[in-house]
Structure 1
């Protein structure tokens, strides 16, 4: 059970809410929750709304949330900026003296899908927060972005008629936040919104790419894999043939049927197996190289900061010139037979021969993707937002970046940023130093033999 005790008392004995903070992150949201529990519905204001109990899967709830977001988006920037730096918060699952929460399991992307018909495709992104109450319940927070001069007016895009008329919303209606509720706009408020549109567009995006890497350098990779492959071939050809059998168990068997009956490989069988293995040399080396470098090298990450501006649903493309990108693999998954394909693998007739360690699907909406682009490596970042002056950092277990030229002391990285609902393109370029050169032989010993 979270600590819901108030953190700040005012002089008159009521619990004060600090609205000078940005309501993002657990500490700030816990302060909001404490205030709601202390004063209940009295907490509601132009920047804060409270719902005690909602069925998060119902159409009525989607309409209520959409109505709040529409009202928050249609506020005047100057007035909104007086509290929470312009953000507005909807608290779901709290009331005076208690926080029963709602059932766990609501996902931001699923909620977005249910809200989109009401909000439209150009509506600003919202933030999503949660505080656990117990194993089954949590309090949810829907956090609307600060309104800005130059933004369009956001009308409701779909009607909803429910049992409670106060929850109804109308297609084409313009909603605004009143003192403690969301309601249809009056004529003066519509004119104020028209003036907001006239006051110009968003300020330009100033993006700082503060960290990229590490960008690795490895020498003699193909040479070392070639040596290991030749050693595998030599060991296979030195194995005793049936005619030379000394009574020792044969290490290679040929399965005859699905019941597992087997016999030692004949000379002809061995020659066919070796020929088949040799014919796939290019494929084996390519796969072995990916596994070798994936488990042996550290993962890379990206850290960016948007200066003094909220960027909604950014799409940031980073191009690492003359570099390759590979999947990062857990060092504990190092498997010599994946780095150097054996001529024959042990055969289990009841095995499906599926490498489950290679199946690592990314969750829906994962904000990082990577792929080769010719001789370059491309990384695409699509987080929900870049918050003003708050570093956004990707995980370091996604991909590995390797300079194609082992002697390169640095590489050029160019980037291009676009924002949802904004036609402007922001771009930049920087030179990033590479890591010290690693010899592939030393990397192999470290990754597969556990020696430095």
Structure 2
């Protein structure tokens, strides 16, 4: 019985409808799917939607059931799959007619992917993962298969699993397809259709739109400002009175400045040596101070990527800002004058050197954005799980700052190169990005440190 026939014969379905002209990603859309499943139960199951009232995705049988669903979803014909959910297919776990009890919280996509890999093989398309919380202990899970593409090979099972229930078993080498409401071994005609799909000329070319968010900054007179700041630091140091001979030795040990945390008074010779060392290291100190100054004073940048009508699996996108510099972005509240101008004599910490957590750049596991400077160019690397068709992917604007090396440049050239997992083709592009208004370093310093 077709979906249309089921709708006309079941009075329950006449009262509830599901909009399938959407991409099933995001909590709002997934909530509507959940409401539909709880309203109609098993009647919701079709070639593009499957529901399980309960399933432990950490168990062998649970992993096998998810693998079987994904294999069947991947072996669909693109033209038929595109009729609903823009080609995506959804497995919802923890819902049934009349209720959504959910399953215990704690399932993680990367752990599930590791368990599925022996069944799916190394070239299997990535899947999407969603969740809706029910209470403190339970949630409904969504496993979302990607749209099939013309030119894709047939995806066969790579590992045998024998279940007590024959319907849940998997066979190494078997080809599974989605039926009207279940996943089953492919028939001869379905295998031939998949062979024709594989002959479809390969994946369509990637049409990528890359947009730079935020500012490419320009800052003038940075070196001039640092010369003034360092001259001021030396001037203040030279005005400090020299210590009275033997005055420190006459103090009670309990009141010695070193014990109280203050710096021990320096002798004339020690002061001269500190100043000499400070002059020797001045260039490196200014370089570090400049980076901190610009990191806390300038706005961050980001990148928005849109793939037109094409799913891109495990992309690796390198965006190069030519004749530019990338530095870490820091909040204005992290501004520290002693990190801008290195003191000639630093205050001693009685408990040792101490630890400054702001000096570390710590990113979460599998963070999809990294940046570095290569020659005179700034290089940003994006490696998200995927670029979805016609769905913008946007990086945060608090990761890095982009600064044009030429303060007079009204625009900079940005080039990008994209590679895709399992695809030998390389896609590239170029754009011109206008720079922000020129900022005077003295004004920036006043705004950040002399509020």
Instruction: Return closer, same or farther for 1:237/1:34 CA change in 2, 3 Å cut-off.
Output: same
1: CA distance, partners of 2:30 / 2:298: 38
The 5 A counterparts of 1:231-246 are 231-243=232-244
Q: CA deviation at 1:352?
A: 4.7
User: Corresponding residue for 1:92?
Assistant: 93
The 5 A counterparts of 1:134-153 are 134-153=135-154
Please list the CA deviations of residues 288-320 of structure 1 after superposition, one character each: whole Å capped at 9, or x if unmatched.
111111000000011121122222222111110
Instruction: Return closer, same or farther for 1:351/1:50 CA change in 2, 3 Å cut-off.
Output: farther
Q: CA deviation at 1:351?
A: 4.5
2: CA distance, partners of 1:14 / 1:179: 21
2: CA distance, partners of 1:327 / 1:280: 23
User: Corresponding residue for 2:169?
Assistant: 168
Instruction: Return closer, same or farther for 1:151/1:344 CA change in 2, 3 Å cut-off.
Output: same
Please list the CA deviations of residues 65-99 of structure 1 after superposition, one character each: whole Å capped at 9, or x if unmatched.
11111110001112211211111001011111111
8 Å Cα contact 2:372/2:379 also seen in 1? yes
Instruction: Return closer, same or farther for 1:16/1:336 CA change in 2, 3 Å cut-off.
Output: same
Q: Mean alpha-carbon deviation: is it higher for 85-94 or for 105-114?
A: 105-114
2: CA distance, partners of 1:261 / 1:328: 32
1: CA distance, partners of 2:12 / 2:56: 38
Please list the CA deviations of residues 116-142 of structure 1 after superposition, one character each: whole Å capped at 9, or x if unmatched.
222122111111111121222221111
8 Å Cα contact 2:262/2:348 also seen in 1? no
User: What SS does structure 2 have at the residue aligned with 1:243?
Assistant: coil
CA RMSD of aligned residues (A): 2.4
1: CA distance, partners of 2:163 / 2:106: 24
User: What SS does structure 2 have at the residue aligned with 1:302?
Assistant: strand
User: Corresponding residue for 2:5?
Assistant: none
User: What SS does structure 2 have at the residue aligned with 1:264?
Assistant: coil
User: Corresponding residue for 2:185?
Assistant: 184
User: What SS does structure 2 have at the residue aligned with 1:155?
Assistant: coil
The 5 A counterparts of 1:309-320 are 309-320=310-321
The 5 A counterparts of 1:396-411 are 396-411=397-412
TM-score (norm 1): 0.91
User: What SS does structure 2 have at the residue aligned with 1:225?
Assistant: helix
The 5 A counterparts of 1:24-423 are 24-243=25-244, 263-423=264-424
2: CA distance, partners of 1:398 / 1:135: 32
8 Å Cα contact 1:311/1:419 also seen in 2? yes
User: What SS does structure 1 have at the residue aligned with 2:191?
Assistant: helix
2: CA distance, partners of 1:78 / 1:12: 25
Q: CA deviation at 1:145?
A: 0.9
2: CA distance, partners of 1:162 / 1:12: 33
Q: CA deviation at 1:232?
A: 1.3
Q: Mean alpha-carbon deviation: is it higher for 77-86 or for 429-438?
A: 77-86
User: What SS does structure 2 have at the residue aligned with 1:345?
Assistant: coil
Instruction: Return closer, same or farther for 1:392/1:273 CA change in 2, 3 Å cut-off.
Output: same
1: CA distance, partners of 2:421 / 2:322: 26
Q: Mean alpha-carbon deviation: is it higher for 277-286 or for 290-299?
A: 277-286
1: CA distance, partners of 2:61 / 2:369: 34
User: What SS does structure 2 have at the residue aligned with 1:110?
Assistant: helix
Q: CA deviation at 1:10?
A: 8.2
User: What SS does structure 1 have at the residue aligned with 2:244?
Assistant: helix
Q: CA deviation at 1:245?
A: 11
